């Protein structure tokens, strides 16, 4: 059957339903370069504006998977479980979570990405550890999984290459927020990765792509449906991203905090979410008798972390990079901190050098923000609220501008209850 890009675009432009044949053809043709970027941009915008039904999204996802290879972990002696976060500020959860779940008996093949804009990237954080390698061959990845139980690495070029092209295009055409395209992008990679079960951490709030819970619930339900349709047991938690996770936003800063969690300490919100996601991953993998809280307390998760870092060329005992310059932000008033906006903190950390505007940009390992108080805490005028870190002090004013309006302090005695970390569960 003959196909052309214009007829496919017109179908969705006119609020029609794309046929299976149209979807298969356009994804394959775009991957091969037959459909031009400007044509796929028009189709992506039509999808953003007019949506897709569940069957369309499932077929689109299947076509993305078919564009590349699929990994197979069936030879491993234990079940596999993976986690994906939709991205946030201070979201270092993957770092303690992967070794924790491995310490409890599952294999964790965690394919992660880099930060873009105000959201941090797991690979950028780990690359602040001297010697650590993100790029592993499939054979190296399997060796680490067999010998250690968890691996965190970059996805190879062979997994869903159609998504790699389309993801970059969406980023520069204002179509990142299209829920069918977000869902198919995430799930095509995760299904092609070959994990047996998947837990999704869908962020909600100012620092997330999904600003309100209804959109987040729609995205989570779509992705859970896609996983189910492709035979992957999938569960989603909706979690708060109105305030940064933990007390750090940056790369080396977040590694340091993650190690504190693995050592049995760390901020309460990071520990709570790490354990909640670990329990979901273990349950989805069919492991019922393991206690992730115990594995954090007894040091077994830390043991897996150290072996995982060493297996990927890193030195878990190395001194982490520290930025050359610091600037302290103090409280303007005394009272109760009622707002520490995740988006404002994320943009400020990005401007300090912790993130990138384009995927080719370098990041500073030591740049970022330490937070000395969180919403609900009582503060005194003049006390430190945040410490900004960077190698380029000329960026301080630019970073401080991003924080304007992001901090609010109410009079002492104000009744304030922070949002819960886990807002909902979709299964």
**Strand 335-340, strand 407-410: pairing:** antiparallel
Query: How many C-beta neighbours within 10 Å does residue 63 have?
Result: 22
DSSP state of 383: S
d(CA 410, CA 417): 13
- How many angstroms separate the CA atoms of 295 and 112, rounded? 23
Burial status of residue 263 (CB atoms within 10 A of its CB: 0-12, 13-18, 19 or more): middle
Active site residue 300: no
Annotated catalytic residue within 12, 59, 118, 189: 189
Residue 185 catalytic? yes
Separation between Cα atoms, residue 101 and residue 276, nearest integer Å: 11
User: Edge-to-edge, what's the strand order for the sheet holding 384-390?
Assistant: 248-250, 368-371, 384-390, 325-330
Which one from 59, 83, 84, 164 is the annotated catalytic residue? 84
Secondary structure element (H or E) that encloses residue 228, with its range: helix 213-229
Burial of 94 from C-beta contacts in 10 A (0-12 / 13-18 / 19+): buried
CB atoms near residue 28 (< 10 Å): 16
The answer to whether 206 is a known catalytic residue is no
Contact status, residue 278 vs residue 104, Cβ threshold 8 Å: yes
Helix (H, G, I), strand (E, B), or coil: what is residue 388? strand
- Strand pairing category for 407-410 and 422-426: unpaired
Question: Is 163 marked active-site?
Answer: yes
**Separation CA 194–CA 76 (nearest Å):** 12
Which tokens go with 97?
């979570």
Q: Which of 92, 114, 125, 170 is catalytic?
A: 170
Q: Name the active-site residue from 163, 201, 229, 240.
A: 163
Residue given tokens 């003959």 in the structure block: 2
Contact present, 340 and 243 (Cβ < 8 Å): yes
Indicate if 170 belongs to the active site.
yes
- Active-site annotation holder among 85, 112, 128, 185: 185
Catalytic residues: 84, 163, 170, 185, 189
């Amino acid at each position: 059957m003959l196909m052309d890009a214009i007829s496919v675009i017109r179908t969705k432009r006119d609020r029609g339903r794309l046929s299976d044949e149209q979807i298969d053809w356009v994804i394959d043709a775009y991957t091969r370069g037959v459909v031009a970027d400007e044509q796929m941009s028009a189709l992506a915008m039509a999808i953003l504006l007019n949506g897709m039904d569940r069957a369309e999204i499932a077929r689109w996802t299947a076509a993305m998977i078919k564009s590349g290879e699929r990994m197979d972990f069936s030879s491993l002696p234990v079940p596999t479980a993976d986690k994906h976060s939709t991205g946030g500020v201070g979201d270092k959860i993957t770092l303690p979570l992967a070794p924790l779940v491995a310490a409890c008996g599952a294999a964790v093949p965690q394919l992660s990405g880099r930060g873009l804009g105000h959201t941090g990237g797991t690979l950028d954080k780990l690359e602040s550890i001297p010697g650590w390698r993100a790029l592993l061959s499939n054979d190296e990845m399997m060796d680490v999984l067999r010998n250690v139980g968890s691996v965190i690495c970059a996805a190879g070029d062979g997994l869903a290459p159609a998504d790699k092209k389309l993801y970059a295009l969406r980023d520069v055409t204002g179509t990142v927020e299209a829920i069918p395209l977000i869902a198919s992008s995430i799930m095509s990679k995760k299904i092609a990765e070959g994990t047996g079960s998947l837990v999704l951490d869908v962020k909600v709030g100012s620092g997330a792509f999904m600003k309100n819970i209804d959109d987040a619930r729609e995205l989570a339900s779509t992705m859970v449906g896609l996983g189910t349709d492709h035979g992957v047991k999938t569960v989603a938690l909706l979690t708060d991203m109105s305030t940064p996770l933990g007390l750090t936003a940056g790369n080396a800063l977040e590694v340091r905090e993650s190690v504190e969690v693995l050592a049995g300490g760390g901020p309460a919100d990071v520990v709570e979410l790490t354990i909640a996601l670990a329990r979901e991953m273990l349950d989805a993998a069919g492991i019922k008798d393991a206690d992730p809280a115990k594995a954090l307390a007894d040091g077994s998760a830390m043991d897996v972390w150290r072996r995982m870092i060493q297996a990927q060329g890193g030195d878990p005992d190395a001194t982490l990079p520290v930025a050359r310059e610091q600037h302290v932000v103090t409280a303007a008033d005394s009272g109760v901190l009622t707002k520490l906006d995740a988006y404002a903190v994320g943009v400020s950390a990005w401007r300090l050098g912790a993130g990138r505007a384009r995927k080719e940009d370098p990041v500073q390992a030591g740049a970022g923000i330490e937070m000395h108080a969180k919403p609900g805490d009582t503060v005194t005028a003049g006390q430190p609220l945040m410490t900004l870190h960077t190698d380029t002090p000329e960026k301080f004013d630019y970073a401080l501008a991003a924080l304007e309006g992001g901090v609010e302090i109410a009079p002492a005695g104000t009744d304030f209850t922070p949002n819960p970390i886990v807002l909902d569960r979709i299964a």
